[in-house]
Amino acid sequence: MNPHDSLANLAAASDETEFYTPMPAGYKPGKTKYVGVFGTVMSGLGKGIFASSLAKMLKDKGLTVAPIKLEGYLNLDSGTLNPFRHGEVFVLDDGMECDMDLGTYERMLDQNMSRLNFSTSGQIFSAILEKERRGSYLGRDVQMIPHVTGEVKSKLRHLAVASDADVVFIEIGGTVGDVENAYYIEALRQLAFEEGAGSTCFVALTYVLNPPALGEQKSKAAQLGIKQLLQSGIQPHIIACRAHQPVSKKVCEKIALYSSVPFNRVFSMHDRESIYVIPEMIREAGLDRAVVDILGIADRVHPEAEERARVIWSDYLDRLRAATQTVTIGIAGKYTSVRDSYASVIKALEHSGTRCGVKVDIDWIEVSDMPLEDVAERLAHLDGLIVPGGFGSRGVEGKISCIQYARTRGLPYLGLCYGFQLAVIEFARNVCGLDGAGSTEFHPECKHPVIDILPEQKQIEGLGASMRLGGHDVALKAGSMASRLFNGAPEIRLRFRHRYEVDPRYIEQLEAGGLVFSGKAPDFPIMQVLELPPEAHPYFVATQAHPELTSRPLRPDPFFLGLVKAAVARHQPRTAADAHVAI
């Protein structure tokens, strides 16, 4: 019996069948193929980088791709996770707070994701319990199999319908063997069974150790991790081996033998200068063609589109590698010990540096314990400064001192979210003479709360509910630097994640002191972009938004691009006039 013939009959939930596979309306068995990416040995090796790079290769062939990240934790989203534990929270345009890997997918594929592209165990179990309370299971006892795994398969097929995808890429967070991931793995095994031969391609990402004391690569940990995957009923078609150095032929042969994966599909994913080189490595290894063959979709490939995409990406890599000049940009934050906390900021600087033909060297400035009297010496060598997003009181005064230094010394400055709010506070204190200016977030009783929760937000209960999340339109002031950065556009769209704003009572006084609010919410008194006029500062710009979230390799974010241009001008000033960036 062809599995496709019976898929429509698998949705029953009664005692008459043990099958439970809800099928979304419009689902066409056989149209959408699936690529599942699993991790072994340890997490954090780059499943999202590999999956997004492989997805890009298929998109370049003219195929429609849709990724989804499946996380095992019970949180409904990533919004309350500490950056020290889980890296940055990436916010989608529809307001979903999700895993940082969604940022990798957006940047690599140059397409916006939605809440359909991200799921957690919390979401899965919440949906199941709601159905149970409604009586949707017709009196059945609700079990991990078939109901929980059925809910996972339903999410994947729903994404397939909503995106009209040729290929859905499924990344399972964590590693094989994690208790919370077992039902995800089982769901993919069932999916492959139900969809039939040629419907799925499974990839295992593993790690090849190279202990310094031994002086050679060791594959035993990789073998054992893959064995766990095999014991779960998943036979990988491709194995990607993370390592510091290229994985030797001997090790690849050993892994191929123990995993029953052809040698030419054991891929060395060793460290490179940029993640954007990985697609080129995948193409050279022929893995994209292997996936097309495994899934039987060669007839959907468009060679002309693939060649155009290859030329464009090769040009980007050529510019990335050709950069010789270096500018130094400081990032003053309190999560600097965990670089993933600022993953999107790092990539946005890389995008802009490549466009400007320079390498951006990031100087991490931990402000939590930095003495204020050391700020000038610590920042003296910088070509630019970023104060990124954050919450809470720790490190606030250090950030404000850094902003004051940038403002008074002509150091190019970009403030992001919290960096916007603190720039307002610094200006209010030191230019407008508002002693005691602060934010009710970290000083509820401050004399001048120039940053506060707007009245309409104070009535909202719940930590996440009061956040201003996702994409919002921003009206730009004509003739401002912000407007010039966006080629004169009267309105732009940015992504936000905050709950505090500039108190409207202080706007007139701040503007009278020389601060320019060049971006505002179209229909509300919400200030979203500020700047100093060019005669006062070469580049002093801040936004309440997170523009790093929408920067792409081929389309650098204008705020970051302006900062890097200003940093280049400061690094090599040709004339006094040239020290002011031309936007």
The answer to whether 2 touches 196, Cβ cutoff 8 Å, is yes
Paired tokens of 291: 């996936």
Catalytic residue among 402, 417, 432, 446: 417
Catalytic residue among 237, 498, 537, 546: 546
Paired tokens of 386: 């970023």
Instruction: Identify the H or E element spanning 290.
Output: helix 287-295
Identity of the residue numbered 179: V
* Radius of gyration for the chain, computed over Cα atoms and rounded to the nearest angstrom: 26
d(CA 446, CA 443): 5
Q: Classify the phi-psi angles of 335: left when phi > 0, otherwise alpha if psi is within -120 to 50, otherwise beta.
A: alpha
Please provide residue 398's backbone torsions phi and psi, each rounded to the nearest 5 degrees. -65, -40
244 noted as active-site residue: no
Q: Kindly list the distances between the CA atom of residue 110 and the CA atoms of 104, 346, 404, in Å, as whole numbers in the listed order.
A: 10, 17, 36
Q: Write 572-579 long-range contacts (CB < 8 A, 24+).
A: 572/325, 579/410, 579/538
d(CA 184, CA 173): 10
417 noted as active-site residue: yes
307 noted as active-site residue: no
End-to-end alpha-carbon separation of the chain, Å? 65
Residue appearing with tokens 């590698």: 321
Please provide residue 466's backbone torsions phi and psi, each rounded to the nearest 5 degrees. -85, 0
Paired tokens of 265: 């599909």
Parallel, antiparallel or unpaired: strands 358-366 and 325-333: parallel
Rounded to 5°, angle at Cα 46 from 41 and 48: 120
Q: Which residues are catalytic?
A: 417, 546, 548
